Chain A
Amino acid sequence: MSDLRLSNQGDRVGPAKTAPEPQPRVTLVRDGQRVNHAKNAEGFLAAPQHQKMHDKRLWDLRQKRDGQMHQIPEWEELRELASAIKEHTLAHLDEYLVQFERNARANGVHVHWAKDAEEHNRIVHGILRYHGAKSLVKSKSMLTDECGFREYMAQVGIEIVETDLGERIQQLDDEEPSHIVVPAVHKLATDVAKVFAEKLGSDPNDADIYHLAETQRDTTRPKILSADAGMTGCNFAVAETGGITVCTNEGNADLSMNVPKLHIASVGIEKVIPKIEHLGVFVRMLSRSAVGSPITQYTSHVRGPREGGQMHIVLVDNGRSARLKEEQFWRSLKCIRCGACMNTCPVYRRSGGLSYGATYSGPIGLIIDPTINRHKYSELPFASSLNGSCTNVCPVKINIHEQIAAWRKVMAENHELPFAKKAAMQAAGALLAQPALYRTAIATADAALNTLPRFAVYNSLNAWGKGRENPHAPRKTFHAWYKKTRGRK
């Protein structure tokens, strides 16, 4: 079928002649411990091939997004509308949830409610048990990752097969997705070849991307055909119809919901929108923001079960209703999971998604993860330069960088700062309170930065020397310069 394989593989070089760079790994921390993003990123920063591909790939997505945006004169108006629709809906969420439930039930859908991840998994298990289902094919859903769904099902002996290529790679490699749209974006083709060879028996030395994708297609299709149940996530749940909208490029959500008789959809309660006409606003921006295409290859609207089939929707809270109360942070619930903030973030592009040690990484992760576990993710809000690019690209206008700054304050007030950061902040506070002392210190530090040997600047005590080069210090301070030039007048 080579004639149909349209590709943009032009700038890729052939198979590497030297041994491929091994994939950098991140050691996950146990619950109760704090995720150290900077430390986790060290391995990725020390793997130049991975780092370079990752940075380039994500920046390419950002540029494609910009190209699409410039073709839509009403882009800013759409963002404003999307934000207004989401804020209105979240301010009346109980009413719209009840409306959605009523209409979905009228369409013949079974609607369930889950307070948390555990209840979600238990409900889905119950449905599967009732139908005697032993195998389930599913499309990508961040919510099911959030719920630890696969781990739960492994314990009760139900086979789960991810059908999205990136998510399948991550499943076979026993890793979390590193990006909410492109889950295996941190991997080189050689890493995928290694995983597929170990788990699917393909040739470990064949890192041809067409062959890898074909291996996935060939090995997944029989599982789709024989699965007892199919599962999808949901991008938008429309209250006025009780229907859900799911967006994919591979068509794997449609296969999952249209081949097995039983379809289960996991839906976060914040996914509800009031009307069909609102889909126009969100669908126009979702894929343009995510990967720079005008729309996903498949945008599916499901309102009820097929003839002879059964459809279940599990509405999941898992901390969302509590987040609504947080004055500074509830707007993060507007998120439509496009990943644009990740693609544009310089910290994310260089550190890789797995370094965040959480289901949601990148800027949106920084403001969602602490609502899930404040202590564990207390350092994440510091993994940002606060440049504001995330906020500028967000299609629903979440004030991401402002929330990141607000989380830093919360962490400081709740004594969640690690010791080194706290000590540095206290020293800075004392210094900044006394201008004369500050000036002397800066002049000394600048001179020192330029003259100190590397080991004195780039050592384990100075976090600013880790994973980055410090800028060249100016020869004289602004104050000294001003005194010398303007000050004499």
Chain B
Amino acid sequence: MSSRDAILATVRANRPGLTRELPSIPRFDSAPPVSLLDAFKAALVSMGGAFMELGEGADPLAPLRARLASGLVCSAVPEVSGNLPLSKVQRPSDLDKVDVGVVRAAFGVAETGSVCLTDEALVVNALGYLPQHLIVLLDPADIVVNLHHAYDRPEFRRHRYAVFHTGPSATADIEGVLIRGAQGVRSLTVVPVLRRT
């Protein structure tokens, strides 16, 4: 008998004899925050992330462009361009020297301050991890109230890779001292940029 069949046979023989129906899951959304964006910002900042406020002028993206003015920038969004085109990236390790990566979030979660990045948006998944800093564009209209609503979204069925980023890489493995920038990005900045339709 194969290990597969042996394991399944033992599991079948040893199943606990209880009837426990699968519960239906409430969405726990009866008291949403007044502003999803404000709740999102507060949660993001508490997790070590940053939120970039944009101006109103002729070029609302000016603060973002200023942030991308120096260093090696790899952008996966049409709104801003970098100096390392993704088309030049042959393998993930090519992103090692990148200072700033830019990517578009599928949606955000107000409860936790998370942004959801998919393989389609990242183009190369490692873009979310190897650059020193990550900038994430998020349309404020794409914020859901909590994780229950987040998991109702289609991304988790549609994509091979979908990840919540909540602030930057962090560790507190030595004496509980919190370090931002453990293995992945040292900072994560969310920028409110409307999705182009």
A residues sitting closer than 8 Å to B (CB atoms) are: 1, 4-9, 12, 53, 57, 60-61, 74, 77, 81, 84-85, 87-88, 90-94, 97-98, 107, 113-115, 119, 163-166, 169, 182-185, 187-189, 192, 209-210, 212-213, 216-217, 220-221, 224-226, 241, 243, 249-252, 254-255, 258-259, 269, 274, 276-281, 283-284, 291, 293-306, 315, 317, 321-322, 324-325, 327, 330
Give 17 A-B pairs besides A94-B12, A251-B184, A303-B161 with Cβ atoms closer than 8 angstroms.
A1-B186, A93-B11, A113-B4, A165-B171, A185-B176, A213-B174, A213-B182, A252-B184, A254-B128, A255-B183, A258-B128, A259-B126, A284-B148, A295-B47, A298-B164, A300-B161, A324-B14
- The residue in chain B whose Cβ has the minimal distance to the Cβ of A179 is B173
Interface residues in B173-197 (C-beta closer than 8 Å to A): 173-187
Task: Decide: A280 and B148 in contact? CB cutoff 8 A.
Answer: yes
B residues sitting closer than 8 Å to A (CB atoms) are: 2-4, 6-8, 10-23, 25-26, 28, 43, 46-48, 92-93, 96, 111-114, 119, 125-126, 128-130, 146-148, 150-152, 156-157, 159-187
Partner of B187, one of A4, A8, A91, A221: A4
Partner of A251, one of B161, B172, B183: B183
Instruction: Give complex CA distance A115, B186 in Å.
Output: 41
Sample of 30 A–B contacts (CB below 8 Å): A8-B177, A84-B21, A90-B16, A91-B15, A91-B16, A91-B18, A94-B8, A113-B7, A165-B173, A165-B182, A165-B183, A189-B174, A212-B174, A216-B183, A225-B96, A251-B182, A251-B183, A276-B151, A277-B151, A277-B152, A280-B147, A284-B147, A295-B112, A296-B166, A297-B165, A299-B114, A300-B161, A304-B160, A317-B10, A324-B11
- The residue in chain B whose Cβ has the minimal distance to the Cβ of A240 is B157
Task: Decide: B187 and A189 in contact? CB cutoff 8 A.
Answer: no
Chain B: minimal CB distance from A259 (Å): 5
User: What residues on A are CB-neighbors of B13 within 8 Å?
Assistant: 325
Task: Decide: B16 and A330 in contact? CB cutoff 8 A.
Answer: yes
- The residue in chain A whose Cβ has the minimal distance to the Cβ of B18 is A91
Task: Decide: B183 and A4 in contact? CB cutoff 8 A.
Answer: no
Partner of A213, one of B17, B25, B179: B179
Task: Decide: A74 and B22 in contact? CB cutoff 8 A.
Answer: no
Instruction: Give complex CA distance A310, B19 in Å.
Output: 39
Task: Decide: B47 and A254 in contact? CB cutoff 8 A.
Answer: no
Chain A: minimal CB distance from B12 (Å): 5
Chain B: minimal CB distance from A215 (Å): 11
Chain A: minimal CB distance from B39 (Å): 11
Instruction: Give complex CA distance A389, B17 in Å.
Output: 28
Task: Decide: A297 and B181 in contact? CB cutoff 8 A.
Answer: no
User: What residues on B are CB-neighbors of A5 within 8 Å?
Assistant: 179-181
Task: Decide: A269 and B157 in contact? CB cutoff 8 A.
Answer: no
User: What residues on B are CB-neighbors of A4 within 8 Å?
Assistant: 180-181, 186-187
User: What residues on A are CB-neighbors of B20 within 8 Å?
Assistant: 84, 87-88, 91
Given contacts A115-B6, A269-B7, A277-B151, contact A8 B178 (CB under 8 A): yes
Given contacts A93-B11, A217-B182, A300-B163, contact A250 B169 (CB under 8 A): yes
User: What residues on A are CB-neighbors of B128 within 8 Å?
Assistant: 251, 254, 258
Task: Decide: B183 and A217 in contact? CB cutoff 8 A.
Answer: yes
Partner of A297, one of B21, B96, B156, B170: B170
Task: Decide: A322 and B183 in contact? CB cutoff 8 A.
Answer: no
User: What residues on A are CB-neighbors of B25 within 8 Å?
Assistant: 81, 277-278, 280-281
User: What residues on A are CB-neighbors of B179 within 8 Å?
Assistant: 5, 7, 209-210, 213
Given contacts A57-B176, A293-B47, contact A93 B170 (CB under 8 A): no
Instruction: Give complex CA distance A140, B31 in Å.
Output: 37
User: What residues on A are CB-neighbors of B93 within 8 Å?
Assistant: 225-226, 259
User: What residues on A are CB-neighbors of B112 within 8 Å?
Assistant: 294-295
Task: Decide: A7 and B178 in contact? CB cutoff 8 A.
Answer: yes
User: What residues on B are CB-neighbors of A291 within 8 Å?
Assistant: 172
Partner of B156, one of A185, A241, A330: A241
User: What residues on A are CB-neighbors of B2 within 8 Å?
Assistant: 113
Chain A: minimal CB distance from B107 (Å): 14
Task: Decide: A324 and B16 in contact? CB cutoff 8 A.
Answer: yes
